[in-house]
Chain A
Amino acid sequence: MQIDLRTVSIKPLRNTFDHLVRRFGDKPASRYQEGSYDIQADTNLQYRPSWDPEHELHDAGRTAIVMSDWYALKDPRQFYYGAYTLARARQQEAAEASFTFVESRALLDQMDAATRSRALAVLMPLRHAAWGANMNNTSMCADGYGTLITQPCMYHAMDNLGVAQYLTRLGLLLGDAATLEAGREAWLNDAAWQPLRRLVEKTLVTRDWFELFVAQNFVLDGLLYPLIYGQFVDKHLNAHGGAGVSMLTAFMSEWHDETRRWIDAVLKTAAAESAANQALLSDWTRQWRGRAAEALSPIAQQALGASAAEVLATVEQSFNDRAAKLGLTL
């Protein structure tokens, strides 16, 4: 029975759930807060995981980083599922429009054959690197501690898959299935790509999930995205008739800028927590930066030729500045 209710204002008994009142005071909570804080069980966990009997099901001990409160690692974007999908749906719409536009104006034809094949040679193997990033972020979601950090890792993983799929579409637009196959072949066998593949495989066996966060999201993608999408696509290709490619990878550049805010916030908070965290994060960053710079060097060479070393140095410099701003000492 539907009763027609007069609109009245009723004073609620309480503003929100107690666990949020304890954190934020007695006031209405946001949907991000309701859907994220303290959601993971942290008490009276039952049974030892058969896949990791040394730890409890949810266990802060799966990383060497120590936080007194794991819910300090707030996502500045305040992404809960609804906010996340709405944000990506808007970007997806823009990307769709770009694909249509580029296709209908035959924008990709403005590139000469050499530029086109260079674009494909650089971008296609990166489909696989993005899949590696997806596995790693999925892993961080599984192994991490506290919903505030595990939740955005899952979103990030799905984004990594989205990036791999946008690259796939780009490849199919610019070439065909054989184009993707050539990229795959390069990823598996070309000398220029082996250092990167070796590095990605090394991340896949890195078990400390916070180290993995540093290695994948901060260091590797922190160098790769500015180098590939910032320098190679948006500057170099753009200057050689590749504006179409630049439009098709706009998602990647935008996404990198947006997710960077989250990654930085996490690292800044974790480093500020203790000298031990700061030292560990600095150390991880230093180690992975060395490996990543080495792995990216032959790719930069392939992408940028003579200017590779100089561009890579610029990218590294701004990465170092970024790290310093987060309180890391490299």
Chain B
Amino acid sequence: MDMSVKKKLGLKEKYALMTRNLGWEPSYEKREDVYPLLDYEGIKIHDWDTWEDPFRLTMDSYWKYQAEKERKLYAIIDAFNQNNGHLNVTDARYINAMKVFLSAVPALEYNAHRGFARLGRHMGGVGPQVACQMQAIDEMRHCQTQIHSISNYNRFYNGIHDWKHMNDRLWYLSVPKSFFEDACTCGPFEFIIAIGFSFEYVLTNLVFVPFVSGAAYNGDMGTMTFGFSAQSDEARHMTLGLEVIKFMLEQDPANLPIVQKWIDKWTWRGVRLLTIVAMMMDYMLPKRVMSWKEAWEIYFEENGMSLFKDLARYGIKVPDCVEQIKKEKDHLSHQAWTTFYAAAPMTNFHTWIPSDDELDWLSAKYPDTFDKYYRPRFEFFREQAEKGERFVNPNLPQLCQVCQIPMLFTEPDDPTQIAYRQSEHDGEKYHFCSDHCQHIFDNEPEKYVEAWLPVHQILQGNCFAEGDDPSAPDFDPIASVMKYWHLENGRDNGDFAGSEDEKNFAAWRGMTTSNT
């Protein structure tokens, strides 16, 4: 057949034939039975056909590009592992950042995978369905490449030997776990605002820069490579997040207040989750990339705000919580690290007091707050440690019912006062770290009363090791909880100084740099 007589199809037309043209309106079954999740959140979509594909990628190209990326990535991971690349990191404290990463993040990617699969099935048009499906399979990639990149650290260092078990149990890991389980239990539209927009679009750089640049700065080629490799996927995910929000806002004016409420909620939820990233940037990377405050200013206050400006024409406003976050940026990382330092026996990574150099760096980066509020604390910790009385918080902290972070945040306008908020529901009192978490609870109390708060669960006796008898005279509750977590006391937890990690790293690096 003479090809030239055929009507030439444009890219857009051709992609439409490859995707949206495949779907059809069901007639043997009711549309609402085929797509049962589209109505109950109150979002009105009148015409799914007006969806603009945020990217055009057919499966054959997807397989080709992604396989190419996988080939390169695994070649680098293999080489990194074979050459004991872990001994090339700046110093062994760095590895603790990777422990936090593996403990928290692949499980998030996994839930993103399952959540986007649900949307891939249940969105009401082939265009958004296919885009969500691609994100679903990409997120599986992220989950697995992260596990594969970090798995070698587990062979040589402590703390992450049972990461999946800990992810579902260990106290601080309920923060990321509850974040994503919250999103995944939402309806499809809220999920995609939560993850596709608020998390991927507004906050993703704040995760990407610290981990990936942090890895690069600190000699971790494996982690750096998976981060860069994921970046081109992320670019697709971000355009999807943005397209979805525009689509929803263009479809019906009644969608605006619903979407705004979700943006407010999920921006705050996301920022609270990033507390641990803030701490990592300022305290855990031996070689700093930039301070949390600087990252926040660049990636949120500049880039994020210009995005909101872009959405202003739809009536979207900057979330109220941004005012509070601005005030917190000078405090967040310090409050988090001092909390983790004081909880060292209960964590699966090591903590330390910053060196003098590092304290000076912090003073320089946080001129208004560090010397005034936080340096004295570290000096106190150091004195105590030198006296052999290493400071440990003896109490189980109260957790915020929504973000599940211990009450460590101070009042936005008074950094000497821990913030507490409280609401009542069905005769029970619930506690919050902030106005914004309280507000989220008050909007959906039935949802948040179901939170699984590790401290409450411990106090109720639900976190003891199987077989342990709490009524036995020699019962040690703390030891039993650690056993329940699979936390190896004395190896996984406590100070970096004197740890097995520290000794091994020094000995191994010694072997590789000496001639004997």
Residues of B439-459 contacting chain A, CB below 8 A: 447-448, 450-452, 457
In contact, A13 and B88 (Cβ under 8 angstroms): no
Within 8 A of A (CB), among B83-103: 83-84, 87-88, 90
Given contacts A34-B147, A201-B28, contact A51 B66 (CB under 8 A): no
A127 to B1, CA, bound (A): 23
Chain A proximity of B59: nearest CB distance (Å): 4
Rounded to whole Å, the gap between the CB of B492 and the closest CB of chain A is 11
The answer for the CA separation of A70 and B513 in the assembled complex, in Å, is: 47
Task: Tell me, in angstroms, the Cα distance from A8 to B157 when the chains sit together.
Answer: 17
- Is A35 a contact of B144 with CB atoms below 8 Å? yes
| Interface contact B219-A46, CB-CB below 8 Å | no
Q: Check A154–B87 contact: CB distance below 8 A.
A: no
Known: A85-B70, A89-B68, A201-B26. A95 touches B60 (CB 8 A): yes
Output the residue of B41, B62, B160, B182 with the most chain A CB within 10 A.
B62
Known contacts A34-B148, A154-B137; is-contact A41 B158 (Cβ 8 Å): no
The reply to whether B164 and A17 contact each other, CB–CB distance below 8 Å, is yes
Q: A8-B511, A176-B6 are in contact. Are A161 and B185 (CB under 8 A)?
A: no
- Measured between beta carbons, the chain B residues less than 8 angstroms from A319 are none
Q: Does A157 contact B (CB under 8 A)?
A: yes
* Nearest CB on A from B290, distance (A): 19
Q: Do B511 and A19 touch (CB < 8 A)?
A: no
Chain B residues lying within 8 Å of A174, measured Cβ to Cβ, are: 1
Q: Give residues of chain A (190-209) contacting chain B, Cβ–Cβ below 8 Å.
A: 197-198, 201-202, 204-205
Distance of A176 Cα from B1 Cα, bound (Å) = 11
Q: Is the CB of A12 within 8 A of B29?
A: no
User: Do residues B84 and A8 form an inter-chain contact, with CB atoms below 8 A?
Assistant: yes
The yes or no answer to A306 lying at the interface (CB within 8 A) is: no
Total B residues in contact with A, Cβ cutoff 8 Å: 106
Cross-chain contact B154 with A14 (CB below 8 angstroms): yes
A287-322 vs B, Cβ < 8 Å mask (1 yes, 0 no)? 000000000000000000000000000000000000
> How many residues of A sit at the interface, in one of the four size bands?
35 or more
B24 touches A50 (CB 8 A): no
A-B contacts at CB below 8 angstroms, number? 271
Q: Mark B335-355, 1 if CB is under 8 A from A, else 0.
A: 000000000000000000000
Q: How does the 8 Å CB contact mask read for B115-129 relative to A, with 1 for contact and 0 for none?
A: 001101110001001
CB within 8 Å of B: which A24-50 residues = 31, 34-35, 38-50
CA distance A96 to B63 in the complex (A): 12
Contacts of A205 in B (CB 8 A): 29, 33-34
Within B150-187, the residues touching A (CB, 8 Å) are 151, 154-158, 160-165, 167-169, 174, 177-178, 181-182, 184-187
In the complex formed, the residue of B with least CB distance to A21 is B161
Q: Is the C-beta of A275 less than 8 angstroms from some C-beta in chain B?
A: no
Taking the closest CB of chain B, its distance from the CB of A43, in whole angstroms, is 4
Q: How far is the CA of A147 from the CA of B134 in the complex (A)?
A: 17
User: Contacts A18-B162, A46-B450 given: A82-B74 contact, CB under 8 Å?
Assistant: yes
Which residues of B have CB within 8 Å of A147?
110
Is A114's CB within 8 Å of the partner chain B? no
- Residues in B with CB closer than 8 Å to A14 are 154-155, 161
Q: Which residues of A contact B154 (CB under 8 A)?
A: 14, 16-17
Do B60 and A2 touch across chains, with their CB atoms under 8 A apart? no
Partner among A2, A41, A139, A142 whose Cβ is within 8 Å of the Cβ of B167: A41
Interface SS of A by simple majority: helix
Which residue on chain A has the smallest CB distance to residue B126?
A: A131
What residues of chain A lie closer than 8 Å to B67, measured between beta carbons?
Answer: 85-86, 88-89
Interface-facing stretch out of B14-22, B248-256, B316-324: B14-22
Taking a contact as CB atoms under 8 Å apart, the answer to whether B181 and A41 are in contact is yes
Q: Which one of A7, A43, A157, A180 contacts B21 once the chains associate, using CB atoms below 8 Å?
A: A180
How many Å lie between the Cα of A46 and that of B183 in the bound state? 11
Q: Chain B interface (Cβ within 8 Å of chain A)?
A: 1, 3, 6-7, 9, 13-14, 17-18, 21-24, 26-29, 33-34, 37, 40-41, 58-60, 62-64, 66-68, 70-71, 73-74, 83-84, 87-88, 90, 106-107, 110-111, 113-114, 117-118, 120-122, 126, 129-130, 133-134, 136-137, 140-141, 143-145, 147-148, 151, 154-158, 160-165, 167-169, 174, 177-178, 181-182, 184-188, 219, 447-448, 450-452, 457, 486, 504, 508-509, 511-515
What are 9 A-B pairs with beta-carbon distances under 8 A? Answer: A14-B155, A16-B154, A39-B143, A41-B168, A95-B60, A103-B3, A162-B59, A168-B17, A177-B7
The 8 closest A-B pairs by CB, nearest first: A89-B67, A35-B144, A162-B59, A12-B155, A131-B22, A18-B162, A142-B118, A88-B63
